[in-house]
Structure formats: structure tokens, C-alpha cells
Structure 1
Amino acid sequence: MEIYKFAYQIIEEAGRIIRDSIDDELHIETKSNPNDLVTNIDKETEAFLTKQILNTYPHHRILGEEGQGRDIEDEAGTIWIIDPIDGTLNFVHQQENFAISIGIFIDGVKYAGFVYDVMNKKMYHCKVGNGAWMNETQLKPLKNSELKSSLISTNPIWLTKDKLADIYKLIIDDARSTRAYGSAALDFANVAKGITSAYLTMRLHPWDFAGGLILVEEVGGVVTNQLGEPLNILEANSILIGNKSIHDELLSQYFLPHTSLLKKIHTERFKKNK
């Protein structure tokens, strides 16, 4: 079976398992801080996806949020980058607004992206060169927009950081309005669908952005870090995505004037899979 069709099927199945267990008691642990949660469902979903992939494609490699593939040092071969539940806080507190995210790369080249809005049964998916889709509906190419007339999304935590507050506050002041969804994967999907015009955040891991990266580019969006550089799929990155016009505006007018600060943050904070 084609990798793309296989991936679609196992993601749907993983989503069904999550929905069937949504009312079960959760076992919740913390990771890097009290708000960085992981549940038994995160771990079980990654284990399920990993088993399905390796049973079918034993030579493929997996980089997953909950521990798979942290020793991957290069982009050779077929790599699946998996977030079993992106938006774990939403999952725990709301039982919605979370997604399964998978990006598939072959020798470092983008192959396919998936963001599955589990509770709404909305599968955002694409195979490079064939357009992006939500279930059976093809997504339209993105329309250009200006910041002043656009909805954007971001994580408001960056407004509390002294070094970044001035950059983010100015963007939020100049935008029409700002949203915070609590799931990076769904933020990417919202840009791909045209619900928001841009998404920016200071730090995401590969599993947070791998599926959405491919989706957004497939509808003509631009995806870079906040220095305008391509994302490294094996490392944490800052994120700036949007339609071409608003991406250019945000990059040139708001981020590049702070190049020295941003380069310092990238050098100090962004280490592979940490």
C-alpha cells in the first residue's frame, strides 16, 4: 500500500481509539514544567502508531514527542515525525481542540503531511504536489492579506517574556485581532484553511510542526523561522507562517529589525530534540 494511504488509515484508527477512550480516567504526568503534560493516551497513541508503521515498514525511522527516535542525527531514509496528541492541555481540560500530527520525509524531502482534528473528525492531509485537503474537500490556495486586516494566532506566553514582549506586542497591536488555540498543529491547519492569516511562536519542536509545515506550503503559504530561514526538521525552531504577503510584512517590518536578538535566542535555546 502507498505510504500516504497507509498513514491516513492508521491516523484515522488512532483517532477512533482516542475518541472511544475519551471518558476513561487519565494518568497524567509532567515533563519539563508543571504545565507540560503527558498522559497515558499520548504514550499509547505514539506506541500504536509506531507499531503499525514498523510492522509495515521496518526500515523506516520515527521521531516522536514521547521518546521515539531521539537519536536520529540525519535525514536519510524515510522519517515519520509524530505528535500523538498536539494540544495535551486542551485534551486534558477540554477533551477537544487537539490533533494527531504527522509529517513524512524521504531523504529530507517533504513527502506528506497530516493534521487530524480528532474530536471533529477533520483530517487535514496532503501529498506534496497534489494539493491539500480537509477530508474530501480540497483547500483553496491562500489569499494574500495585510496584518492590519488579518486574524493571526500566537501563544500569549511570549508577551510575558521581557526580551520578546516588544516584538510580539507590536504585532498584536497592529493586527486586526489575535487568537490562541492551544495546539500548534491546529494553528498550522487554520492557516492552511484560511481561518487565520498567520501563526507565529518562538519555539516549536519538530513533532509540533512537521505535518502542518507541509500542509501550509501545499496551499501556497510560506513557512520559515523568524529569521526567514527554512525550518530544520530535526531541531526546535522559531516559527513564522502565513500567506506570502503577510509573511513578508511580518518578517521585514517586525522580526528582521531584531535580527541580533533573534540570532542570540536561536543559538542559546534551540538544540536538537531537547
Structure 2
Amino acid sequence: MTDQTSDRDRAAVAALAAAEGAAVAADSFRTDLTVEEKDGKTDVVTQVDRDAQETVIETIRTEFPDDPIVGEEEDALKEVPATGPAWIVDPIDGTNNYVNESRAFGTAVAAVVDGEPVGAATDCPALSDTYRVGPDGAYRNDESLSVSDRTDPEAATVCPTFWWDFDQRDQYAAATRAVVERFGDMRRYGCAQLELAMVAAGALEGTMTNLRANPWDTVAGVQLVREAGGVVTDLEGDRWRHDSTGLVASNGGIHDELLAAAREIDD
């Protein structure tokens, strides 16, 4: 455990680093980009992703030069250390949106100690929304966040999140069917950190997947949901961790129904 002062320091640096990385992304948004494929036609990267990650890392290193950093791009670590402090970085979550000139993208930075988040931020510059969370609570643009109070699934809006690849389209179809049969409406934004932030803000009642998600796509948003009064579990209904299989995040009021929907994906 860290003391409160240290937690506040890490939360503040997470917010600053996210803002610096988001500024790099914003500077090149809707410009002529060279787009490279990583593991598929929809898994893309640009030099801006790399530049934004470098900026985030430089900002963190100024205050915490010895902490390990887990990140999506290049040679950053890919696994969260089990003990001690670390940072988790997604320089542009929603790169596919970014290159297609959609505003649904953001820079996410989380500070963790012994694998547990102590502060995080997701900065969405094209939406003019900054989400941050720390010892003082969860906020969007300095206004306190709270999950929605809806408990009726038929009045709830849910987002199936993450990308089911072309050899998993049966699961993608099952996830969609489970949502539309159980809930009032469905959204999909293509930016997991934003989707989790929207659950925290009450704009969605829940988001879910059966997949094991990367920590840079999740940890900041999960902490936002929890601090805003929501619930985040794995497919077993146990408390979600960065190494869990499946992710079910909700306002709490529809969690059992959302968990049942997520479990249907693999049936």
C-alpha cells in the first residue's frame, strides 16, 4: 500500500501524462496519416501513436524515473508487475476511430501499485472530455461522476466491447444478440476506455466482453467505474483484475443481467 500523498502524486502525474499524450494526438487528428497494420486490417497503428506514447513516458519519467511502464506500442512492457508501482499507457485508445477521423479516441494512463490502480486518467481531446480518478474520487472535466441509477434492463443501454476477430464472429454475433434480447438498446464506440468512462458517467448502464482484455485498454476505465459507484467483475462474477478473463462493468443495478449476457457469448 502507498500513503495518500503518494497516491495523489501518482494520480496527478497520470492526469498530466494523459493530457500531454492527448495533445500530441490532437495535433495530428484529421491530417494526412500513414497507417500501418499490426495484427489485422482493423488493428492499426500510426507514428502518432508512438509519438504520443513517448510523450506520456517522458512525462512519467520526470517524476517517477525508475517505475516500470506497461504500454501498447513498441518495446514497453506488456504485463503488469505483480508487486511494486507501475504505469499502464495507451497512447491512442481507438486508433481505428482516430485514423477514420472519428472523435471517439483518447489517451489513457493508469498508475498501479501491486497491480491495483491508485490513479488514472483518460483524455479524449476531440470530445473535450477528460476523465480522471484518484483518492479524491472520479471526475469528468472536474465534475464528480456517478453511474446511472437504472435497474430495469429494458430501460438500459449496453455496449459489447473489444474486437472479436474474423475467426470469432460467432462470438461477436452472440454478444450482440445477448444484448439486444435483454436490454433496451445497444451502442458500440470502438474505444474501450471511453466506453468504460461512459459507464462511470451514467451515459451507458454497462459494457461487457468474454475476452481477456489488454491492461492498457481497461485499467483506467475500470477504476473510473468503481469510484463512480459501479461494479466490475470477470465472467465468474469475481472482482475484475488486469489479468482476468472477461470484463463485465455496470452501474450495479443491471449487473446480474449483464453478467448473464456475457456468459451467453461462449455458449
Give the TM-score category using the shorter length: 0.7 to 0.9
The answer to whether structure 1 residue 27 and structure 2 residue 34 are counterparts is yes
CA distance in 2, matches of 1:150, 1:111: 30
- After superposition, the Cα gap between the structure-2 partners of 1:16 and 1:164, relative to the gap in structure 1 and judged at 3 Å, is closer
Identity %: 27
143-152 or 37-46: bigger deviation: 143-152
Question: d(CA) in 1 for partners of 2:75 and 2:256?
Answer: 35
Q: Check whether the contact 2:159–2:188 (CA below 8 A) recurs between aligned residues.
A: yes
Distance 1:219 1:73, change over 3 A: closer
Q: Please say which of residues 91-100 and 64-73 is displaced more in the overlay.
A: 64-73
The 3-state SS of whatever aligns with 2:240 is coil
Give the aligned partner of residue 174 of structure 1: 182
1:207 to 216, 230, 249: 216
d(CA) in 2 for partners of 1:72 and 1:26?
A: 29
Deviation of 1:17 (Å): 2.5
Q: Secondary structure at the match of 2:216?
A: helix
Query: Deviation at 1:114?
Result: 1.1
Amino acid across the alignment from 2:240? L
Q: Following superposition of structure 1 onto structure 2, how do residues 112-191 of structure 1 map, counting pairs within 5 Å?
A: 112-128=119-135, 130-155=136-161, 161-162=169-170, 165-166=173-174, 168-191=176-199
The answer to whether the 8 Å contact 1:227/1:255 transfers is: no
For the structure 1 residues 55 and 33, does the alpha-carbon distance in structure 2 shift closer, same or farther, using more than 3 Å as the test?
same
Corresponding position: 1:223 with 2:232: yes
Structure 2: 5+ residue runs without aligned partners? 1-7
What is the identity, as a one-letter code, of the residue corresponding to 2:250? G
Shift in Å, 1:71: 5.9
What do the CA deviations read for 1:128-176 (whole angstroms, capped 9, x no partner)?
A: 4x22101121113542422211011114965973356445413322211
Aligned residues: 257
Instruction: Note if contact 2:92-2:105 (Cα within 8 Å) is conserved in structure 1.
Output: yes
- Quote how far apart the aligned CAs of 1:255 are: 4.4
1:88 is matched with which residue?
Answer: 95
CA contact (8 A) 1:142 1:219 kept: no
Residue identity opposite 2:210 in structure 1: M
Range 68-77 or range 96-105, more displaced: 68-77
Shift of 1:73: 6.2
Residue of structure 1 equivalent to 2:58: 51
When the two structures are superposed, what TM-score results if normalisation uses the length of structure 2? 0.86
Distance (whole Å) between structure 2 residues aligned to residue 6 and residue 22 of structure 1:
24
**Rounded Cα–Cα distance in structure 1 between residues aligned with 2:226 and 2:27:** 33
RMSD: 2.5
Q: Are the counterparts in 2 of residues 87 and 184 from structure 1 also a CA contact under 8 Å?
A: yes
Conserved 8 A contact 1:198-1:243: yes
Please report the TM-score for the alignment, with normalisation by the length of structure 1.
0.84
Whole-Å separation in 2 of the counterparts to 1:192 and 1:154 = 16
> d(CA) in 1 for partners of 2:172 and 2:104?
27
| Structure 1 unmatched runs, 5+ | 263-274
